[in-house]
Chain A
Amino acid sequence: MQSNTNSESPSSISAEARLEYTLQLADDALIIGHRLSEWCGHGPILEQDIALTNTALDHLGRARSLYQYAAEQFNNLPADAKSKFFTSIALQQLIASGSSIGEDDLASLRDGWDYRNALLLEQPNIDWAYTVARSFFYDSFNFLYFKQLSVSTDATLAAIAAKSLKEVTYHLRWSKEWVIRLGDGTEESHSRMQTAVNDLWMYTGELLSPNNTAQQTGVDSAALKQPWTDIITDVFKEADLKLPAGTWMQEGGRNGRHTEHLGYILAELQFMQRAYPGMEW
């Protein structure tokens, strides 16, 4: 693995590493989009139901662009590399039959160990405070991350990031305002917000941990730690929330070791393609 970042041209990193990195970004987007879409029709305020669904649609749209790009990369791999890349039997069969794969194959036919999303994003909605806390941690990260990625040496990723940055700026404004609203609102909302923040804190480290492939493609997550912490600290101050003291961080999503929640997400998400394989919908 090379460590020099900015001077690398896209062709100088391994094709597999680039694909893995693209999938990681795509999986993040799909899984958070899935969780947010679970609110559709169940929100506490009609206007917020609409707002959250908009955000879910943004994430889903980004997931699609990224999976399409990942599929294109995969289809260009040499046959030998293709056959080794995924563990999924369904994908192996597709590849063996000589078919090219598409966005839906990547979303629907990989099992959890091939998913690379951060653990934070698969955590359940639980209540509005957990949903807001999860979004706020992720949106602050995304905001910083996509700023960097939008000048990536990889033109496709840079274009996707530039489009996403506009959306993420709005997402962050939304989640930040809700953190403040709940932190400041009533005793109950304050306590719920603090509990959600405390419980989800241990999943934030993974977003900011160094990532080999990421370093090669343009963004060093670890370098975002300070600006990310600054955003969180400022908003918590305004919301009268305490920064959790815990320093232990759960990781594993980037390597395909997930929490128990992901399996259930995939069971729903992949149901149709698994029960009725190989059809057009």
Chain B
Amino acid sequence: MTVHSFQEHFDSLIDNDIAIEPKDWMPDDYRKTLIRQISQHAHSEIIGMLPEGNWITRAPSLRRKAVLLAKVQDEAGHGLYLYSAAETLGVSRDELYDQLHSGKAKYSSIFNYPTLTWADMGAIGWLVDGAAIMNQVPLCRTSYGPYARAMVRVCKEESFHQRQGFEIMLTLAKGTEVQKKMAQDAFNRWWWPSLMMFGPPDAESPHTAQSVRWRIKRLTNDELRQKFVDVTVEQAKVLGLDIPDKDLKWNEARGHFDFGAINWEEFKNVVKGNGPCNKQRLDTRRKAWEEGQWVRDAAQAHAQKRKEKMASAA
């Protein structure tokens, strides 16, 4: 086949919703876009372990501790599936780690905000995982097979995480005055950054159109954001929490909630590295990686010695 006919074949697979598999021909840009998106997602899972991991040793009850520990462990598992999916595109996990540690690769900016109280464990589960699910459910049908299959597993676990986050919030909202205050405070701090999780407005999103064409993305940033607002406002009512947005109101004509202007200056700053915890999060990851070097070296040396021993015994 000529390059032209490779392209035609690829396009027809995409148009017919047939999954692209690792050995299929694919345009370079498709491959690059996927590596960027999947690795950003994997990094987000790994960095995302830190703000919640922060509360494992301080969880208020043994049951909450066990659930939180299992949740953060799930995130490590998601990172693992996603790095594996990225590897099928011809990039190694170590290369991807290097990109993360050098600051070249991005991860979800939401994790650059601090977790200050226990209620933040509820708010993250409810809002951040809730937003992540909105983003990720369409990805279960994304055009690249290994990514879509990884996302099916991720989404199942994420919806459990979202429920447990909501349940933490509900317990606080039904609790004492100070617990309600804690819940509202966390909601105030996480609401806007959660809306930013869907990325810049469509008009300013450089990759959206091509990604939608390739069926890597299924819905645009703004469509997903609106969906999230509509669902979450109703859930906040159940919790009895006030939405920290004075412009929020139901728009009968649109059949959606209108909401206030997002502070995109803040978003750009956090992406640039000026968020409250950008430096701490990356430093923590780098430290874990560097301090683990001798452990990885030892594991490799031992495996090599064993291989040699077995070879000489054979």
Chain A contacts to B: CB under 8 angstroms: 30, 34, 37-38, 40-47, 49-50, 53-54, 56-57, 60-61, 63-64, 67, 103-104, 107, 127-128, 180-182, 184-186, 188-189, 192, 265, 268-269, 271-273, 276, 279-281
> Which 3 residue pairs are nearest across A and B when measured between Cβ atoms?
A44-B292, A185-B298, A189-B298
B302 beta carbon closer than 8 Å to chain A: yes
Which of A53, A54, A63, A184 has a CB less than 8 Å from the CB of B302?
A184
B115 → A minimal CB distance (Å): 12
> What are some 12 contacts across the A-B interface (CB < 8 A)?
A37-B57, A40-B49, A42-B288, A44-B288, A44-B295, A46-B46, A49-B73, A54-B73, A60-B62, A60-B69, A185-B299, A272-B58
B72 beta carbon closer than 8 Å to chain A: yes
Collect the chain A residues with CB atoms within 8 Å of residue B284's CB: 41-42
Chain B contacts to A: CB under 8 angstroms: 46, 49-50, 53, 56-66, 69-70, 72-73, 76-77, 79-80, 83, 118, 168, 171, 175-176, 178-179, 284, 287-289, 291-302, 305
Q: Are A43 and B291 in contact (CB under 8 A)?
A: no
Cα separation A280 to B171 with both chains bound (whole Å)? 7
Cα separation A54 to B305 with both chains bound (whole Å)? 28
Residue on A nearest B299 in the bound complex, by CB: A181
B188 → A minimal CB distance (Å): 19
B10 → A minimal CB distance (Å): 32
Residue on A nearest B306 in the bound complex, by CB: A184
Q: Are B76 and A50 in contact (CB under 8 A)?
A: yes
Collect the chain B residues with CB atoms within 8 Å of residue A280's CB: 171, 175
Q: Are A50 and B73 in contact (CB under 8 A)?
A: yes
Given contacts A42-B284, A185-B297, A281-B118, contact A37 B77 (CB under 8 A): no
B181 → A minimal CB distance (Å): 11
B50 → A minimal CB distance (Å): 5
Instruction: Give 15 new A-B contacts, CB below 8 A, not counting A38-B56, A186-B298, A271-B58.
Output: A37-B57, A43-B288, A46-B83, A49-B73, A53-B69, A61-B66, A63-B62, A64-B63, A104-B62, A186-B297, A192-B294, A279-B60, A279-B176, A281-B118, A281-B168
Collect the chain B residues with CB atoms within 8 Å of residue A30's CB: 62
Cα separation A49 to B118 with both chains bound (whole Å)? 23
Which of B62, B292, B302 has a CB less than 8 Å from the CB of A45?
B292
Q: Are A45 and B295 in contact (CB under 8 A)?
A: yes
Cα separation A186 to B297 with both chains bound (whole Å)? 7
Which of B80, B171, B292, B305 has a CB less than 8 Å from the CB of A43?
B292
Which of A34, A44, A189 has a CB less than 8 Å from the CB of B57?
A34
Residue on A nearest B294 in the bound complex, by CB: A188
B85 → A minimal CB distance (Å): 14
Collect the chain A residues with CB atoms within 8 Å of residue B294's CB: 186, 188-189, 192
Q: Are A64 and B57 in contact (CB under 8 A)?
A: no
Which of A54, A61, A188, A279 has a CB less than 8 Å from the CB of B298?
A188
Q: In the complex, which of the residues A42, A184, A276 has the most CB atoms of chain B within 10 Å of its own CB atom?
A: A42
Q: Are A57 and B70 in contact (CB under 8 A)?
A: yes
Cα separation A234 to B179 with both chains bound (whole Å)? 54
